[in-house]
Structure 1
Amino acid sequence: MALVLATAPYWLGGDYYINLATQVLIAALFALSLNLLVGYAGLVSLGHAGYLGLSAYTSAWLVLNLKWGHLAAAAGALGFTGLMAAVFGLVALRASGLSFLMITLALGQVLWGLAYRWASVTGGDNGLSGLTRPAPFGLDLNDARAFYWFALVVFVLVFVAVRVLVHSPFGATIRGTRDQPRRMSTLGYDVWRIRWLTFTASGVLGGVAGLMYVYYQQFISPHSLSLAGSAEMLLMVIAGGPGTLVGPIAGAALVVLLKNVASAYIDRWIMLLGIVFVLIVMFVPGGIVPGLQRLWTRLRAGVPRVDANAALAADPVALEKAP
């Protein structure tokens, strides 16, 4: 799989398909950050696009107005995004379930409203443009292949970090607060603090996706913070399989491909996306990846296992040749 991803620019063809693969990586990166909250902590959010937009706007503003370098601007953007995620967590985690969902929605809409109305800083509906891509180690990221590899490296680093986190003892406590919060509290764990740390970490990872988004687009507008963006990312997580590492990647690939490829042939591609989502809920309610895993388990269970001794006994010629 790693070889396929690393060599993708050579067999995908033109820049269009390479850019499409880059969009999948960025969407998968953002879906991974949301999956940490939705799939592992069991906290469904509808305001997660706010962190993508917050990080992108902060980085762009620092570069365009304060003339910071890309590395310093990225560090500042992630720090500010993490701080805002920590503050929002203090507010949102006062509730749970549907109330938590509505609070995250409200916080996301607050950020969207600021981006839309604070025109002196954000450019309003016109957004911020005129951005350049970074040049790490002198590498020109304006080339489609170079930017794809850059996005792949960032994606792999985040994927490994999330994998280490969810398989660590702290990751086990995150899943424990999702499945048995009362029992975890009885055992002495601070359920609220665990959820708050997870909420903050998810926001920071969403900020990483925001940096990649603004580097790729070289433009940022209030649309990136909209409710539609948060819902689209949540759809990726649910469709692919929440609580799995590969699920958000599969969901991101599905949504991005439908959005870019199907829309070229079908005017109402959003309706097609809705139909696909309904089919997933009906036939693979746990998501695409868990559904494929169950199917593979059933296929393996249905294949008869051959007893070598019985096969030799049934074949006298083979029995004579056997040592």
Structure 2
Amino acid sequence: MARVLPLIALALLALLPFAIGEYFVNLASQVIIAVVFASSLNLLAGYGGLTSLGHAAFLGISAYTSAWLATKLGLGHAITAPAALLVTTLMGMLFGWISLRATGLGFLMLTLALSQIVWGLAYRLVNVTNGDNGISGLTRPHPFGWNLDLSNNYYWFSLLVGALCIWLMKRLVESAFGASLRGTRDQPRRMEALGYHVWAIRWTTFVISSFFAGVAGLLYVWFNKYIHPSVTAVPVSAEALLSVIAGGAGTVYGPALGAVIVVILKNYASAFIERWNMMLGLVFLFIVIFMPAGLVAGLTSAWRRVRGGRA
């Protein structure tokens, strides 16, 4: 049953555009992008115990690389997409090598500092990023003749890519490598004593996490057809981290649920409430108090209590 439910949910999500309007289809596409991004951060923060406040740097690097190659060199998406993922992964290797010189608060501050460097360069390198004006006039790919300029088509495309990313990350965390990663989170000294290279496991996870953040960056820049330095700012990383914590760090589907809440409050509730950040804070406070392990763990526990009471 546990294997069937995700397939049923995916099928229902695929039918969603037939039941809602174009605005909500576009909103759903934004949710999927946020889900991929938050899930990539969950590999670090949830399974690795490495809280990062600089994850938006990889989203921005991927988006800017794709946009720059397309606008400055006139290259097609078949080249810009792999190149963007390659550059993002290489930067993940470098940033991971630097950040993992510390753990805990030190790691968090190093990732924050590195992301601020990327954010500053995005504003200062006007010849590359066009500064505060951003890069516009971008296009969406047309894989196999599939017109992604249509909202429904782009939603199905992002749903397919998002589902593939979630599946790959699920396979990763359920593998022997995932078990060793959780071991480095819970008992790093014992893992070292058992012969595991804790730093190498964490660095590999950092690189993989940056790759999936790069995928989210491509989906982001294709959806908006525009990229601005603000996408690399700290609030973007904070929203992803909030999604991970609210949904349930160290769970496969927790960050997805948290991302849904954050994106809906950001894009929908803000149209009715000026101080939507306050509402987001209240929701987060409620989750922390009543469901400290996150929404997935809290709802699962509540469902088991209900079933136990009926029995």
TM range (shorter): over 0.9
Distance 1:101 1:210 in 2: 21
Which residue is equivalent to 1:25?
A: 32
Q: Which residue of 1 aligns with 2:235?
A: 228
Mapping for residues 95-244 of structure 1, pairs under 5 Å: 95-244=102-251
| Structure 2 counterpart of 1:285, from 269, 283, 292 | 292
The answer as to 2:23 corresponding to 1:16 is yes
The equivalent of 1:2 in structure 2 is 10
Q: Which runs of 5+ in 2 are unaligned?
A: 1-8
Q: Distance in 2 between matches of 1:246 and 1:157?
A: 13
Deviation at 1:303, TM superposition (A): 2.1
Moved more, 191-200 or 61-70: 61-70
The aligned counterpart of 2:62 is: 55
Identity of aligned residues (%): 56
Cα-to-partner distance string for 1:127-177 (whole Å, 9 max, x where unaligned): 100000000001111110000000001001101100110011011001010
- C-alpha separation in 1, matches of 2:190 and 2:309: 39
- Paired AA for residue 153 in structure 1: L
Residue 274 (structure 1) aligns with: 281
Q: Which has the larger radius of gyration?
A: 1
Match of 1:89 in 2: 96
Displacement after TM superposition at 1:226 (Å): 0.2
**Pairwise mapping of residues 31-70 of structure 1 onto structure 2 (< 5 A)?**
31-70=38-77
RMSD: 0.7
Distance 2:307 2:93 in 1: 46
Instruction: Give the distance between the partners of 1:95 and 1:260, measured in 2 at CA.
Output: 36
Gaps of 5+ in 1: 305-323
Q: Distance in 2 between matches of 1:89 and 1:239?
A: 25
Residues 231-278 of structure 1: per-residue CA shift (max 9 Å, x gap)? 111111111111011101100100011111111111111111111111
Residue deviations 1:209-237 (CA, integer Å, cap 9, x gap):
00000000000010000011111111111
Q: Give the SS at the match of 1:298.
A: helix
**What is the alpha-carbon distance in structure 2 between the residues aligned to residue 284 and residue 116 of structure 1?**
40
